[in-house]
C-alpha cells in the first residue's frame, strides 16, 4: 500500500488539473451562446463536454477547411514550442549561473550595482525585449549588410535563435537574483566556513557544496519562472510570426482544440514538478496548527479592518523617500489624467492631414514626433501623448483595483486556510493550486475574455462597458486568487510559529485576537509587497492582451470592405500596443515605444513603493538603521575576507517563490 500511495496521488492531482482545463475550455463558447450569468447552463455544458471529450470521436482539428487528426496537426507545432521553451530555459539558467559565479565573490558595491541594473531590467516588458531585438537586427542589416539572425518565420523556414534569446532574458534575470540570494545565504553557513578553514578553493566550494545544497530551493523557485515563460511564449510566438502551439489554438477556437492544446502544455511540467514533489515529500499525519476552535462570527473578523490598517501604514511609509516617490508618480499620473480630461475641451487631438501654408499635404497619419504632436500620432491621427495622459486613469486604476482584490480576497481566504484547515487538507490544496503554474496565464485570460471584450461590427456589444470592466476585473482576479490565498496562508503559518504567537495561544487567545493583535501587524508589510507584485503582473497581462487586440473595456471593431484596425474605446495604454507588428514593418517605432515606456514608468514607481516598504520593515526589526545595514558591535576573532554580504531583505525573506 505504501508504494501505491505515490501513483494514486499523482494520478488524482493530474485528473483534477484536467477537470480545471476542461472547465476553462468551454468558457468562451458558453459565454457567447448562453451569456455570462447562466450558471446552470454552464454546468450542463460542462458535463456534456466531459462526455464528448471522453468519447474521442470529435478529436479533430479544422484548418483552412480541412479536418485532420489532432496529433497530425498539433504534434509538430507542440514540439516546436517545447524546443523554444527548453532552449530559452537552458540559456537563461546557464547565463545566470555564470553571472552568479563571477558576482558572488565581488565586493558589496559591485554586487549592489548589479542588483540595481536587474531592478531596472525587470521593469521592461517581454514585448519590449522582442521589439528591441528586432530593431537591432534590422539596424545591423540596414547599415552593415549583416543579417545577425532570422527574426520572423517565413513559409516552412522556422526561427529559433531570436525567440529563444528574447524568451530567456526575463528568466535569466529572475534566476540570477534567486541564485545570488540563496548562494549568499549558503556561503554564510558554518559548513562553508569549515570548508574555507581547510583551504578549499572558491571553485571547489562552489561546485561541491553550494550547488548541491541550493538545488532543491532553485528547483522550486523555477516553477514561477516557468509560469511566466509560458505566458510570454504566447506573446513571443505572435511577435516572431511563429506557428507554434498557441498559434493553432487561436486558429481553431473550439473547446476541444483549446482543451487538447492546454493539456499538451500542462502535462510535461506537471509530471516534472509534481512528480518530484510527491516523490520526495510525504504528508505528515500530525497537525501543527492546533489552534483553538472558538466560534467566531464572520462580522467579527473586521472585514474593513485591513483597509484601515493599510491606510495607517501608508501614512507612516510616506516618510520613506522611495515609497513617497513611487506613490507620487502613480497618484500624479492618475490625478493628471482626470484633470486633463476635465479641463480640456478636446482631450485627444486628432489630425487627419497636416498641411503647409500653401495648403499642400505634408504629413498623413501616423505623424512623426516633435511636430505639432510631441510624441507623434497613431495610424488614426490621434495624439499619442494625449492618449497616454487620458488613458492613465483607466490603466493604472484598473491595475490597482485588480491587485487590491487579489490581496484582500487572498487575505480573508488565507484566514480560513490558516485557522480552519488541517495540515493534510492544506497540502492537498497546495498541490491543486500548484497546477495553475503549469498553464499560461495570459493565454487563459485571452480565452476567457475574448467572447466579452470583442465587439461585433453589426450587432454591437452584448454587455455595457461597466459589465465588461467588471467581468475583466473578476476574471483577472479569480485566475490568481488561489495563488495569493495559499501564499498569504503560508505567510500566516510562518508567523504563527513564532514564540510570541504560540505564547498568546497557550494563554487562551482566540483566533480573532491572534490575527489582529499578533499576526496582522507582521503580515501587513508583506501584503504591501504582494500588492505591488500583483499590480505589476496585472500591467503585464494588459500588455499581452493588448497585443491581441483585447483592450480594457472592450475592442471596437468596424465593418466595411476596408475596415479600420481594432481600437480601444477608453484609450487605455494597451490599445497602442496592438500596432506593434505594423509599427515594426512600416518603421513607425514611436507608436509602440511610447506606451511601453509608460508601462515601464508605472512598474518602476511600484518597485520603489515595494522597496520602501522593505526598508521600513527592515528598520523596525533592526536589520537596517536609517536605511543602512547595522554593523555588528562584536569584533571577530579573525578578519574574514571575500565573504559576500547577505541580500538586504534576507531577514524578511518572502515566500513568493514557494509552491
| Three-state helix/strand/coil letters over 142-159 | HHHCCCCCCCCCECCECC
CA dist., res. 471 & res. 32, Å (int): 14
Q: What is the pLDDT of residue 391?
A: 92
CA dist., res. 224 & res. 220, Å (int): 8
Asked if 488 contacts 406 with a C-beta cutoff of 8 angstroms, the reply is no
Q: How far is CA 394 from CA 19, 49, 265, 379, in A?
A: 35, 37, 33, 22
CA dist., res. 63 & res. 40, Å (int): 32
Asked if 113 contacts 130 with a C-beta cutoff of 8 angstroms, the reply is no
Residue at 13 is within a domain: no
Q: What is the pLDDT of residue 649?
A: 35
Residues 189 and 311 in one domain: no
User: Exposed/middle/buried for 199, CB within 10 Å: 0-12, 13-18, 19+?
Assistant: exposed
Radius of gyration of the chain (CA): 26
Tell me the H-state helices in 122-243: 126-144, 161-187, 190-197, 202-205, 211-239
Q: What is the pLDDT of residue 50?
A: 92
Residue at 263 is within a domain: no
Residues 311 and 234 in one domain: no
* Nearest Cα to Cα of residue 151 among 82, 90, 232, 242: 242
Residues 129 and 218 in one domain: yes
Residue at 359 is within a domain: no
Collect the ranges in the chain with pLDDT lower than 70. Answer: 1-3, 64-65, 280-314, 455-460, 559-564, 581, 618, 620-659
Residue 408, SS3 per DSSP: helix
Domain count, the chain: 2
Contacts of 509 (CB under 8 A, 6+ apart): 292, 517, 518
Residue at 52 is within a domain: no
Owning domain of residue 119: 80-243
Q: Ramachandran region of residue 196, left (φ > 0), alpha (ψ -120 to 50) or beta?
A: alpha
CA dist., res. 171 & res. 90, Å (int): 10
Q: What is the pLDDT of residue 307?
A: 61
Residues 199 and 89 in one domain: yes
Q: What is the pLDDT of residue 634?
A: 44
Residue at 50 is within a domain: no
Instruction: Give, for 260, the enclosing helix (H) or strand (E).
Output: helix 255-280
Residues 446 and 585 in one domain: yes
CA dist., res. 83 & res. 163, Å (int): 11
Predicted TM-score (pTM) of this structure = 0.83
Sign of the torsion angle spanned by Cα atoms 144, 149, 151, 154: positive
Residue 643, SS3 per DSSP: coil
Asked if 562 contacts 546 with a C-beta cutoff of 8 angstroms, the reply is no
Residue at 314 is within a domain: yes
Q: Which residues pair with 355 in a beta bridge?
A: 361
Q: Which residues pair with 568 in a beta bridge?
A: 555
Residues 332 and 443 in one domain: yes
Amino acid at each position: 500500500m505504501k508504494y501505491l500511495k505515490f501513483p494514486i496521488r499523482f494520478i488524482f492531482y493530474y485528473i483534477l488539473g484536467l477537470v480545471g482545463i476542461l472547465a476553462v475550455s468551454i468558457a468562451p463558447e458558453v459565454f457567447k451562446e448562453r451569456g455570462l450569468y447562466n450558471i446552470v447552463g454552464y454546468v450542463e455544458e460542462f458535463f456534456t463536454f466531459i462526455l464528448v471529450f471522453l468519447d474521442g470521436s470529435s478529436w479533430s482539428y479544422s484548418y483552412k477547411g480541412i479536418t485532420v487528426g489532432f496529433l497530425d496537426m498539433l504534434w509538430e507545432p507542440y514540439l516546436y514550442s517545447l524546443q523554444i521553451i527548453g532552449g530559452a530555459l537552458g540559456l537563461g539558467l546557464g547565463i545566470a549561473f555564470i553571472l552568479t559565479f563571477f558576482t558572488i565573490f565581488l565586493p558589496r558595491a559591485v554586487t549592489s550595482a548589479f542588483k540595481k541594473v536587474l531592478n531596472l531590467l525587470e521593469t521592461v516588458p517581454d514585448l519590449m525585449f522582442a521589439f528591441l531585438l528586432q530593431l537591432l537586427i534590422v539596424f545591423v542589416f540596414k547599415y552593415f549588410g549583416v543579417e545577425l539572425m532570422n527574426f520572423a518565420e517565413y513559409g516552412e523556414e522556422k526561427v529559433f535563435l531570436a525567440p529563444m534569446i528574447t524568451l530567456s532574458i526575463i528568466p535569466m534575470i529572475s534566476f540570477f537574483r534567486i541564485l545570488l540570494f540563496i548562494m549568499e545565504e549558503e556561503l554564510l553557513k558554518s559548513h562553508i566556513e569549515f570548508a574555507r578553514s581547510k583551504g578549499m578553493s572558491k571553485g571547489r566550494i562552489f561546485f561541491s557544496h553550494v550547488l548541491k545544497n541550493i538545488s532543491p530551493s532553485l528547483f522550486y523557485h523555477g516553477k514561477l519562472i516557468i509560469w511566466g515563460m509560458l505566458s510570454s511564449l504566447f506573446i513571443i510566438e505572435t511577435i516572431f510570426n511563429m506557428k507554434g502551439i498557441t498559434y493553432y489554438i487561436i486558429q481553431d477556437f473550439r473547446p476541444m482544440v483549446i482543451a487538447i492544446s492546454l493539456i499538451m502544455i500542462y502535462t510535461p511540467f506537471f509530471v516534472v514538478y509534481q512528480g518530484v514533489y510527491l516523490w520526495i515529500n510525504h504528508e505528515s499525519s500530525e497537525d501543527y496548527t492546533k489552534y483553538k476552535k472558538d466560534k467566531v462570527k464572520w462580522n467579527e473578523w473586521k472585514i474593513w479592518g485591513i483597509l484601515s490598517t493599510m491606510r495607517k501604514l501608508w501614512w507612516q511609509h510616506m516618510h520613506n523617500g522611495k515609497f513617497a516617490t513611487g506613490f507620487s508618480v502613480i497618484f500624479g499620473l492618475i490625478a493628471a489624467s482626470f484633470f486633463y480630461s476635465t479641463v480640456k475641451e478636446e482631450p485627444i487631438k486628432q489630425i487627419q492631414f497636416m498641411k503647409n501654408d500653401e495648403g499642400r499635404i505634408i504629413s498623413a497619419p501616423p505623424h512623426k514626433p516633435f511636430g505639432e504632436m510631441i510624441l507623434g500620432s497613431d495610424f488614426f491621427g490621434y495624439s499619442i501623448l494625449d492618449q497616454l495622459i487620458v488613458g492613465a486613469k483607466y490603466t493604472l486604476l484598473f491595475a490597482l483595483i485588480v491587485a487590491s482584490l487579489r490581496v484582500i480576497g487572498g487575505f480573508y481566504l488565507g484566514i480560513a486556510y490558516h485557522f480552519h484547515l488541517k495540515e493534510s487538507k492544506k497540502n492537498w490544496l497546495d498541490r491543486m493550486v500548484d497546477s495553475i503554474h503549469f498553464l499560461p496565464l495570459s493565454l487563459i485570460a485571452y480565452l476567457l475574455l475574448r467572447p466579452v471584450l470583442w465587439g461585433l461590427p453589426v450587432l454591437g456589444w452584448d454587455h455595457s462597458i461597466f459589465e465588461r470592466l467588471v467581468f475583466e476585473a473578476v476574471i483577472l482576479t479569480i485566475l490568481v486568487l488561489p495563488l495569493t490565498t495559499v501564499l498569504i496562508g503560508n505567510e500566516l503559518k510562518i508567523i504563527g510559529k513564532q514564540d510570541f504567537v504560540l505564547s498568546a495561544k497557550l494563554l487562551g487567545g482566540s483566533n480573532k485576537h491572534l490575527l489582529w493583535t499578533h499576526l496582522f501587524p507582521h503580515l501587513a508589510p508583506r501584503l504591501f509587497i504582494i500588492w505591488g507584485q500583483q499590480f505589476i503582473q496585472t500591467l503585464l497581462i494588459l500588455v499581452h492582451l493588448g497585443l491581441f487586440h483585447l483592450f480594457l473595456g472592450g475592442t471596437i471593431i468596424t465593418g466595411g470592405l476596408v475596415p479600420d484596425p481594432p481600437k480601444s474605446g477608453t484609450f487605455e495604454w494597451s490599445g497602442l500596443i496592438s500596432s506593434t507588428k505594423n509599427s515594426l514593418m512600416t518603421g513607425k517605432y514611436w507608436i509602440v515605444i511610447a506606451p511601453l515606456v509608460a508601462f515601464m514608468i508605472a512598474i518602476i514607481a511600484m518597485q520603489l513603493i515595494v522597496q520602501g516598504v522593505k526598508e521600513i520593515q527592515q528598520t523596525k526589526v533592526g536589520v537596517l538603521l536609517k536605511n543602512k545595514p547595522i554593523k555588528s558591535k562584536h569584533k571577530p576573532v579573525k578578519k574574514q575576507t571575500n565573504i559576500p554580504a547577505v541580500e538586504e531583505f534576507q531577514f524578511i525573506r518572502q515566500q513568493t517563490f514557494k509552491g
